[in-house]
Structure 1
Amino acid sequence: MLVERSMHPEWLSNSYLVADEPGGRAVIIDSGAPAEPLLDAIERHEVTPEQLLLTHHQLEAERLLDVDTAFEPGEVLEVGGLRIDAIHTPGHTAGMLAFRVNDSEVFTGDTLFKGSVGGVRAPGSTTFEDLRSSVMDVLMKLPPQTVVRPGHTDPTTIGEEWEGNAFVRLWRGLDEESHERCRVGEEEAVLVLFAPDYDGGHKAWVRWTASGRDDIVPGSAVERY
């Protein structure tokens, strides 16, 4: 199996070409990055892309491939020597999918990143509980050597995130919650965790004072005091 990546220079979002072998059959996963590097890789490896698979809705998919597929959770797609399992991982969006390829790599979209996780306050998101379950009850159950290819920036492994991801460590009960007070917009909250994010900024786990509900928000939205 071969994997090539294109990353958007500003959004740091990834698109992937995944092929069974040079000269073989391929799929493209996600479309949030410039098409040209993947088009070059298609020509260089002489592969034939047959499907465009989206972990969640993205723009300009048509630049990469004319045809996409309705791929439901639990279904298996076989393209040449590729076996692709669709795994439902709601949280960042209601319909978010992760694609596990040949039981060795998982493309996680905006659910799990290297050292971070997705937010749950953007339009289309569901709940903190959904995201936690998608990470802990689904992705973290994969073998530790599984390569994680996220929707933004660099790859990692399930084992690395199990040991080092600040959100995962807190969900595992290894680290303690913070009780620092903060404000997000007009809402008062407890800043449970303030951790590095994939873009060099921060991601915040907050607990709203009024409702006691948890959310994950951009660190830039948090006013600490």
Structure 2
Amino acid sequence: MRVVRSWYSVILFMLMAGTSCRPSEEVHSSLPRRCLAGSPPAPGGPVKEVFYREILFPAATLFTPQFGSYGPKGYGVNKLEMASELPAVADSCGVELLALVIVGPAGLLWSYDIFTFLRDGKAAQVNLTMYPHARITEKRFRTLAQVEAEKWLDDLVHLPYVRAGQPTWPDTLSDRLTREFSYDFLALKWDEPNAGTWHASVFEEEDLTDFQRLFSSLYEGMVDTYIHGHFQEH
């Protein structure tokens, strides 16, 4: 039976709580804060498309607090489905998706940390959505020089327990939720020549020092744009 380290949420909370956020004026980005293309999905419309827009952009919307639980109005993450569908949504919103990193599900709340990397000229805007138990509890963003973003991603996918390619399962294992919980890390890069897909069962590993170090360095300097129930002005 696969072991999931229930202290994962505590680790990430401690990392993020101990990280200072830059003031908004120090974070420079030419990208829009939310999807400006077309009409926003109507209330009661396609929840998945709403969620995809949430993770692509840093600003909260009127929909952000509505993600509160599993059920008809909630969204249960499917990492591979998200990876296949998100680029088209980014394109429809007029932004270029460079990379996607999904950590989760983990812990008793089935927590996910979802990172999207968008091209911003010679920089990359990194958006973080924290999503425990189908609730958007926090959104953050920062910008990095594109070479910094590329190095961070390269270091991440070359950790010794990260495997190239998508996860595979025997034909007898067809249940979607079982497959989703059988691994807790997915990364994709679309920017050539280093495009690819990687996956791992990170929280089965004994030593996560390098993993924690990488994510701690990414959290550093991020700006809060939403904390559950509170919209931040930027």
TM class by shorter-chain length? under 0.3
Provide TM-score, normalisation by structure 2. 0.23
Give 1 or 2 for the bigger CA radius of gyration: 1
Provide TM-score, normalisation by structure 1. 0.24
Q: Which has the higher contact order (CA 8 A, sep 6+)?
A: 2
